[in-house]
Amino acid sequence: MTTPDTADLRPEVLLLRTLKLGDLLVAVPAIHAVRRALPGHRLVLAMPGWLEPVTRLVGGVDALLPTPGLDDPLPLPPGRIDTAINLHGRGPESDSLIALLEPRHTIGHSTAGFGGPEWRDGMLERARWARLVEAHGMPADPDDVALEGVTPPAPVDDAVVVHVGAFYGSRRWPAERFAKVAEALRGDGHRIIFTGSEAERPRAEEVARLGGFGPESVSAGRLALDEFAAVVKSARLVVSADTGAAHLASAYGIPSVVLFGPAPPEEWGPPASGPHVVLTDARQRRGDAFADAPDPAILAVQVADVLAAGRSLLADSAARRAGTARG
């Protein structure tokens, strides 16, 4: 995948969403809809450059324009972009970046006079962006989350992925609880792998130590982003807070137990049709996403809750595999 260049004479459609992995993945239904609606356009994602390995997995994406944030104008001449789509938000910063491109067509919410639908608070995020492009004549399915690109070989396959990290402390389930879950599932005969970012490797090592695991079980900070996707794609089960790992499990239809803290699952949860279990306690939610301490809604989730959900999903998955083998 390359950044845009003038050698390709197709009209270009640019989608702005300069956020994190999970934010990219909840926009996949809208990206797929744009690809179907504009098959003759060069589809460019304006997103952080570190997401490039996963943008290659989305399917139908022609180029990535590395965009670390909203502080600087996009390095494209005015008038070059045929259609610009604000999938980032509704604020003046993102709207102004779109306007500076002087595209022939603009798709966004009505706040900036783009002629789109009104912004609605509390919507399921996948549905929000699907609704936006559909309002502009691009039919979209909010559950069209599948990643269509080819992943590299998984460094570890057929494992239970315990993703211990989260960008903010408000989503971090206690390390000792992750360790107890991992220890119990290992006792059930499952291979365990601990994942997270490079910055989260010390936390993954702590969880592994608390559960009696060796360093070979810790892959946090050792996987490229597309390798991480491959590990999730080949996993038996994913246990994670509401992070990119959980959204990858949704994208690949992998059974997952997702622990929610400050964010409501009604806005960020997995497709209802998938093999996913959401655990939280909305009655205790404070909702401060940027807090350092875990939200009470995620602390209300106990080890026994995660084990019951995970074991049920694993049993259902094993039964399906057995049925397929007999068939």
Q: What is the pLDDT of residues 193-205, one digit of tens each?
A: 999 999 999 999 9
Same structural domain for residues 123 and 246?
A: no
pLDDT (0 to 100) of residue 4:
60
Does residue 243 share a domain with residue 112? no
Integer angstrom CA distances of residue 198 from 20, 164, 296: 15, 12, 26
Q: Is residue 146 part of a domain?
A: no
Which band of pLDDT confidence, cut at 50, 70 and 90, is reported for residue 112? low
**Residues 116 and 240 both lie in one domain:** no
- For the chain, how many helices (H) and strands (E)? 12, 10
DSSP codes of every residue in 15-26: EE--S-HHHHHH
Q: Please report the sign of the dihedral spanned by the C-alpha atoms of residue 27, residue 32, residue 33, residue 34.
A: positive
Q: What is the pLDDT of residues 42-98, one digit of tens each?
A: 999 999 999 999 999 999 999 999 999 999 999 999 999 999 999 999 999 999 999
DSSP-assigned beta bridge partners for residue 276: 256
Residue 269 resides in a domain: yes
Last residue of a domain, one of 94, 117, 134: 134
Residues 124 and 164 in one domain: no
142 belongs to a structural domain: no
207 and 128 fall within a common domain: no
pLDDT for residue 222 is more than 70: yes
The C-alpha atoms of residue 311 and residue 239 are separated, in whole angstroms, by 11
Query: Would you state the pLDDT for residue 322?
Result: 81
Same domain, 130 and 179: no
Q: Is residue 94 part of a domain?
A: yes
Q: Can you tell me the mean pLDDT for 164-169?
A: 93
Reported as a pLDDT band with limits 50, 70 and 90, residue 116 is: confident
Q: Does some domain include residue 3?
A: no
Does 308 reside within a domain? Answer: yes
Domain identity same for 206 and 321: yes
Give Cβ neighbours of residue 142 (< 8 Å, ≥ 6 apart): 29, 124, 126, 127, 130
**How does pLDDT run across 41-52, given as a tens digit for each residue?**
999 999 999 999
Decide if pLDDT at 7 tops 80: no
Average confidence score pLDDT of the chain: 95
Structural domain total, the chain: 2
Residues 213 and 282 in one domain: yes
pLDDT of 1 > 60? The answer is: no
Q: Are residues 129 and 165 in the same domain?
A: no
The boundaries of the domain holding residue 72 are: 12-134
| The domain boundary residue, chosen from 119, 134, 149 | 134
Angstrom distance (rounded) from CA 306 to CA 315? 14
In this structure, are 243 and 110 located in the same domain? no
* CATH number for 299: 3.40.50.2000
pLDDT, residue 78, reads 97
- Provide the Cα torsion 44, 50, 56, 62; round to 10°: 20
pLDDT in tens, 249-305: 999 999 999 999 999 999 999 999 889 999 999 999 999 999 999 999 999 999 999
Binning pLDDT at 50, 70 and 90, where does residue 102 land? very high
**Domain boundary at 134, 168, 188, which?**
134
169 and 106 in a common domain: no
Same domain, 165 and 35: no
**pLDDT tens readout for residues 119-153:** 999 999 999 999 999 999 999 999 999 999 999 99
Task: Check if the beta carbon of residue 256 is closer than 8 Å to that of residue 250.
Answer: yes
Q: How many CA atoms lie within 13 A of 184 on its CB side?
A: 15
- The pLDDT tens digits of the residues spanning 8-38 come to 889 999 999 999 999 999 999 999 999 999 9
Express each pLDDT in 174-217 by its tens digit. 999 999 999 999 999 999 999 999 999 999 999 999 999 999 99
Residue 155 lies in a domain: no
Question: Does residue 256 sit within a domain?
Answer: yes
